[in-house]
Amino acid sequence: GKGAFGLVWCGLRKPGGELVAVKQFQLSGAEVLSAVQLEVDILQSLKHPNIVGFLGVQQHEGAVNLFLELVSGGSLAANLAQFGPFPESVVRRYGRQLLQALAYLHQRNVLHRDIKGNNVMVCPGSGTIKLIDFGCATFEPSSADCEALVASARGTPYWMA
């Protein structure tokens, strides 16, 4: 896949041979490096069944690679486009899981800032969903910094609230 700052590949993790997602960023400036570092800091601080797992990070030849849990069932948006509306029971199950992930982020003072169907992946066969793409995320600022947070709004405009 392709994101705002980089590409996502399927890779093979050594030595175990496990398939992983590799999110690759080209280091084109201090802004990109700072954004990648924040995403790494946030992902390292999270461990929840409905949030993509962080496996590691590596810098190599002008690029940074984030190694993440591979979720191969496609996004909610892609599944909706391919299969049509979900049954009510599935909507309830996915909605509950997404709310659990958001409650967990709230407890850890993390703002995702780009929640949309393309950033929620489905684990095939299990009915589990995973929130992905923390590239717009930040740690919740103190109340004194809220004005700066509003001024630095991030996310997908159509989905912002």
Active site (catalytic) residues: 114
* Residue carrying the six token digits 């169907």: 117
For 136, the token pair is 């717009």
Beta strands in the chain (DSSP E): 6-13, 18-26, 54-60, 63-69, 110-111, 120-122, 129-131, 138-139
Q: Is 86 left (phi over 0), alpha (psi -120 to 50) or beta?
A: beta
Cα atoms in the Cβ-side hemisphere of radius 13 Å centred on 124: 5
What residue type is 157 in one-letter code? P
Supply the Cα-derived Rg of the chain in whole angstroms. Answer: 16
